[in-house]
Amino acid sequence: MIFTLMCVQVMAGLGHGVTFTMGSLLATKLQGPAWGGTALALTMGGAALWAIPLAKVVALRGRRASLTTGLVMGMLGAASALTGAQLSFFPLVLLGFLFLGAEVAVNLQARFAAVDVAVGKHRGRDLSLVMWCTTVGAVIGPNLFGLTEKLGSSLGLAEYAGAYLVCMCAQATGILALQSSLRPELRPQAISKIKQVVPRMGNYPLVIVAIATVAASHFAMVGVMSMTGVHLKTHGVGLGFIGIVISSHVGAMYALAPLFGSLSDRLGPWYSIAVGTGLNILSCAIVAAGSGSHTIVLVGLLLLGIGWSATLVGTTALLVTSSPSQGRTVFQGRSDLVMNICGAAGGILAGPIVSATSLSFFAGLMIVVIAAQIGLSVAYLRIRGTGAPVDPDSVTNIVARETV
């Protein structure tokens, strides 16, 4: 079953790895640079929109049904975007971006499925393997830009439409793997606890800070990433190099996650958060200062992916260890929701801001956003303190004990 989930992660990662930047280029082609960020914005918005319905499918039908539904929705999104590209009908492309968000929701949900499947001391290992496999598809995807364009051209498809055909094939492969291998159906034991009374999140300031930190990081990352391909394309860079930049960035988002997980386990989540926040600021400064150099942009995007990864791992650990057991899953859901909404906002704002100014200006603006979040979080904790004590049976402590 773990191998099946790993396969699904590769296919989902391949799908959105291919389409993320192609979506920005397609939107720019049809509507202009100001619309370049809509691809990632609507994809992140879709991830937030579909997360709750897909979670309800888990409760009613199990993991296999939910993951399959998400991949089918991703296929529908790819078909809609492809059709919109062929007809030069932008609203249909936008609808496709929204449905492609289900792929991102599947990526996030697979980590919980891995916990359902894993046994005893292998839980942490299996969870890391499933999450890491996103790297494989996400890195390969952008490097297929040239191939997808040749494929699309040979089939008479519009420019940038071939990527969505590859996406549909990847999702179909994931669906076949789920239907043939993920048996018996996974039904999480914790479902019966959904109706428990949830504590007030305001009583747990560290949870608030964790959510705010990952939201700011995601806002900056999606905003800068969504317009990098458009920026490079307008400066005459070929799709091959754009693919290298994006694949390096997306690979960095996942490849080092186990390292930051180990850092959080050994030294505490604040160390991972500090490293991630520092790298986010540094990467934005690099892009702001050197956007005219393709190599410098590559370095900046690489560091931005690593910083996002460290921040995500650290804030996830902080949220889990700071949440009461009866509200943990709900708080996690709220965190993912806020994170994806902020990612969508970053993509939406990036297009018109970069179009009116430059990628350098936008990257500098992201430094201000991250710094403001840090300042507000420090002030908030000084006023509120760390909040209510948390029960010792946190998920992180349990996993840590089992993996020792």
Angle (nearest 5°) at CA 83 between 77 and 84: 90
* 399 residue type, one letter: V
Summarised one tens digit per residue, pLDDT across range 276-294 is 999 999 999 999 999 889 8
Angle (nearest 5°) at CA 225 between 20 and 220: 130
Summarised one tens digit per residue, pLDDT across range 128-171 is 566 667 677 766 776 677 788 888 889 989 888 888 888 898 88
Residue 24: partners with Cβ closer than 8 Å, 6 or more residues away: 36, 37, 39, 40, 226, 227, 229, 230
- Supply the mean pLDDT for the chain: 80
Examine the pLDDT at 4 and tell me if it is beyond 70. Answer: yes
| pLDDT confidence band for 197 (50 / 70 / 90) | low
R_g (Cα) of the chain, nearest Å? 20
Q: What is the mean pLDDT of residues 248-267?
A: 80
Distance between CA atoms of 37 and 27, rounded to whole angstroms? 8
Domains and CATH numbers, the chain: 1-185 (1.20.1250.20), 200-394 (1.20.1250.20)
Give the pLDDT of residue 282: 97
Examine the pLDDT at 313 and tell me if it is beyond 80. Answer: yes
Q: Which residue has the higher pLDDT, 186 or 241?
A: 241
What percent of the chain shows pLDDT beyond 90? 25
Examine the pLDDT at 228 and tell me if it is beyond 60. Answer: yes
Report the candidate in 60, 48, 10 with the shortest Cα–Cα distance to residue 178.
10
Give the pLDDT of residue 199: 75
Examine the pLDDT at 19 and tell me if it is beyond 80. Answer: no
Give the pLDDT of residue 255: 78
